[in-house]
Amino acid sequence: MPSSGGRNRRRLVGEINVVPYIDVMLVLLVIFMVTAPLLTQGVKVDLPKAGAQPLADQKDPLVVSLDKQGRRYINIGDDKSAAIDDKTLADRVRLVLARDKDTQVLLKADAAIPYGEVMQIMVLMQRVGATKVGFLTDALPPEKVP
């Protein structure tokens, strides 16, 4: 009879305890679910619907936004959520275009904004030297495209 010296030898378990990993994953999931809505930036604008195809990804465009009240915003500067006047808008666009004249300028106007006001911004963009000016819209589902 082989003697084990009065001790019972424990067998090593070759399994990984995954419970702590699952706990960490669930905590990370909750953190990402809470912070994801906070990461969206910009001005609340109800975009018009259109059936146009999206543009190919290029450099980051300059986005000029008009909300329902006609206030202007731009996606550069210290406070992107602060409304600016036309002179400040023109100055900021001019500075960006001085660095890269091929920067695309996208106009993000609320559907309730009169067409004439949108055209004033388009003319302003052309006067400061923007050669690539486009519109942002919400895409229509393919079955609703005329």
pLDDT, position 2? 55
Q: How far is 129 from 93, CA to CA, in rounded Å?
A: 9
Q: What is the pLDDT along the chain (146 residues), one digit of tens a residue?
A: 555 555 667 777 777 788 888 999 999 999 988 887 776 656 666 666 666 666 565 677 888 888 888 888 888 766 667 888 889 889 988 988 888 888 888 888 888 888 888 888 888 988 998 888 888 777 666 555 55
Q: What integer best gives the mean pLDDT of the chain? A: 78
Q: At what angle do helices 115-127 and 86-99 cross, to 10 degrees?
A: 40
Domains of the chain: 49-144 (3.30.420.270)
CB 124 within 8 A of CB 86: yes
Neighbours of 88 (CB within 10 A): 14
User: What is the per-residue pLDDT across 79-119, written as a single tens digit (0 to 9) for each?
Assistant: 667 888 889 889 988 988 888 888 888 888 888 888 888 88
